[in-house]
Amino acid sequence: MHFTRRNIGMIVAPLLALLVWILTPALEYQARLVATIMSFCLVFWMTEVIPLSMTAFLGVLIAVIFGVAEINTAFQNLGHPIILLFIGSFLLARSMTRHGLDKRIALFILSRPFFQQSLFRLFLGFSSISFLLSMWVSNSVTVAMLLPLIIGVTQLLSAEQGRGPAIYFLLGIAYSASIGGVSTIIGSPPNLIGVNYLAQQGIRLDFLQWMYLALPMSLSMYGLMLLYMRYFLNKCGYNRQSVQAYVAEHQRQKEKLRMGELVTMGVFVIAVVLWLSPGVLNLLGMEEAYTFMSTYFAESTVAVLAALLLFLIPPGQENQGRGTLTAEDLVKIDWDTILLFGGGMALGQLVVSSGLADMIGRNITTFVDPNQQALLVLVLVFLVLMLTEISSNTAIAITFVPIIIGVLQGLNLPVLYPVLGVVVACSMAFMLPVATPPNAIVYGSKQVPISQMVRIGFLLNLVATLLITTLVLLYMQL
């Protein structure tokens, strides 16, 4: 038998599941079975035996067959408001790509003389687009949008400098998207998972509250990443004239703003304003207005409303029979992530409802001194960050956030800030392609050797661990 990663997963998953079943006779039946299912799914996720979303479905299906979950309620999470938020924001991003708004934003920044001054400034231009876009659009979609443009520019640079600049630019947009994605609830799937699990504990975070806590983390990490990449880029040469020629050529090809771009931009601005409104009203102490907005214009409602507007509004006179988005665009969004989210949330709920999260939490509390908060937060953040390296960050968040909530409750520690730290850590894995969608996309370009990604990413992982831990402890003190 040829030992591919997939074949290894098919052998190891049932063996590990059997081992977990044998080693946990002290657990109640439901918790024991869920632990067995989760260990099986974790191996399937890590080795990608079948698509990630289908692994989540398989786990829930096994739970139904063995009586741990009821079929009527097992897949309820597929209709969860967060799923609608995903679909809406993916369709917004699709409209940007379809009408070329992403390339226009990138070329606008590239054409500024400031960014043409040096290789690092050029890198700053691209990475800042990636950082800012991924706050509002899924980080994977951001990188997918920027990739063709980056490859065009780096091929120009690589003709004179060899492969060096291309590697750093591609890693830079991937890292910036992951870092920027933690700033808002919709930027990265683990954020949504964390917010949902916290809501189950009665801790509600609106859009602005999340930004208030997460933006300092992402801005600090982005600054440190820039300093780190500058060290590598300073070793590469740079020809300003060739970049100016590239921009001039592409600017000539770009006609004036088309109606499709204007409609997309208008709908995007409306969505952002509605997403931020409840938080602003809350900040201003306008309780009635805040309650109204958060009830009738929740994040998911706004995302679906934005998507529907894009299907309704035609992109100009010549396209009256069609919307800015059409039926074909529905097929082109990332359904695997959407379904993984639904199935994964169902699995995560089983970890809680079966009592498994509570049991693991109680057991860990016997080894941990509640007074050693700094060590506990450091270990949790580092553990999740390194686990994310070998599995999808969405899968890790689904599996471990409820367990970590159980640990914190067992130690009578505040839940919000450590969970925030762990959720942010899920998006801060920089070493391997499987860790985050942006890493996978730039690795798929065949321009970045895995050895370079590991070497450059390892130090950033350590920096992220220390930064997140420091800010979480600071929040807990304040």
Residues 6+ apart with CB under 8 A from 353: none
Q: For residue 379, is it within any domain? A: no
Regarding predicted confidence, which is higher, 391 or 182? 182
Q: For residue 473, is it within any domain? A: no
Last residue of a domain, one of 331, 360, 377: 331
User: For the segment 168-214, what is each residue's pLDDT rounded down to a tens digit?
Assistant: 999 999 999 999 999 998 888 899 889 989 998 999 888 889 999 99
Phi-psi region of 67 (alpha: psi -120 to 50; beta: other; left: phi over 0): left
pLDDT surpassing 70 at residue 49: yes
Q: For residue 402, is it within any domain? A: no
Domain check: are 133 and 171 in the same one?
yes
Residues 6+ apart with CB under 8 A from 260: 95, 98, 99, 315, 316, 324
Give the per-residue SS3 of 93-107.
HHHHHHCCHHHHHHH
* Closest by CA position to 334, among listed 120, 142, 464: 142
Tokens 């309780």, located at residue = 287
Domain check: are 207 and 257 in the same one?
yes
Q: For residue 318, is it within any domain? A: yes
Least-confidence region, from 12-16, 30-34, 397-401, 461-465: 397-401
pLDDT surpassing 70 at residue 407: yes
Rounded CA Rg of the chain: 23
What pLDDT score was predicted for residue 162?
55
The number of folded domains in the chain is 2
Q: For residue 260, is it within any domain? A: yes
Which helix (H) or strand (E) is 42 found in, with range? Answer: helix 29-47
Last residue of a domain, one of 17, 43, 73: 73
Burial of 47-83, coded b for 16+ CB within 10 Å and e otherwise, reads bebeebbbbbbbbbbbbbeeebbeeeebbebbebebb
Give the per-residue SS3 of 437-466.
HHHHHHHCCCCCCHHHHHHHHHHHHHHHHH
Range of the domain at 216: 81-331
Distance CA 187, CA 350 (A): 26
- Whether the Cβ atoms of residue 316 and residue 260 lie closer than 8 Å to each other: yes
* Closest by CA position to 64, among listed 396, 397, 350: 350
Last residue of a domain, one of 73, 104, 132: 73
Domain check: are 62 and 86 in the same one?
no
Q: How confident is the model at residue 285 (pLDDT cuts 50, 70, 90)?
A: confident
Distance CA 363, CA 381 (A): 19
Q: For residue 229, is it within any domain? A: yes
State the average pLDDT for the chain: 84
Give residue 387's identity as a one-letter amino acid code. Answer: L
* Closest by CA position to 424, among listed 108, 142, 210: 210
- The mean pLDDT of 434-461, rounded to a whole number, is 82
Domain check: are 253 and 128 in the same one?
yes
What pLDDT score was predicted for residue 11?
93
Distance CA 264, CA 84 (A): 19
Domain check: are 278 and 306 in the same one?
yes
Domain check: are 40 and 180 in the same one?
no
What pLDDT score was predicted for residue 156?
67
- Residues 315-324: contacts with CB within 8 Å, 24+ apart? 315/99, 315/258, 315/259, 315/260, 315/263, 316/258, 316/259, 316/260, 317/259, 319/259, 324/95, 324/99, 324/260, 324/263, 324/264, 324/267
| Residue 401, both tokens | 């956030």
Distance CA 55, CA 80 (A): 19
Domain check: are 274 and 301 in the same one?
yes
Sign of CA dihedral 272, 273, 275, 276: positive
Domain check: are 11 and 156 in the same one?
no
Domain check: are 151 and 253 in the same one?
yes
Domain check: are 36 and 110 in the same one?
no
Q: For residue 270, is it within any domain? A: yes
pLDDT surpassing 70 at residue 312: yes
User: For the segment 106-141, what is each residue's pLDDT rounded down to a tens digit?
Assistant: 677 777 888 888 889 989 988 998 999 888 877 777
Distance CA 104, CA 158 (A): 23
Domain check: are 265 and 300 in the same one?
yes
Distance CA 433, CA 454 (A): 9
Q: How confident is the model at residue 284 (pLDDT cuts 50, 70, 90)?
A: confident
Domain check: are 97 and 67 in the same one?
no
Q: For residue 348, is it within any domain? A: no
| Maximum distance among all Cα pairs of the chain, rounded to whole angstroms | 71
Distance CA 315, CA 62 (A): 47
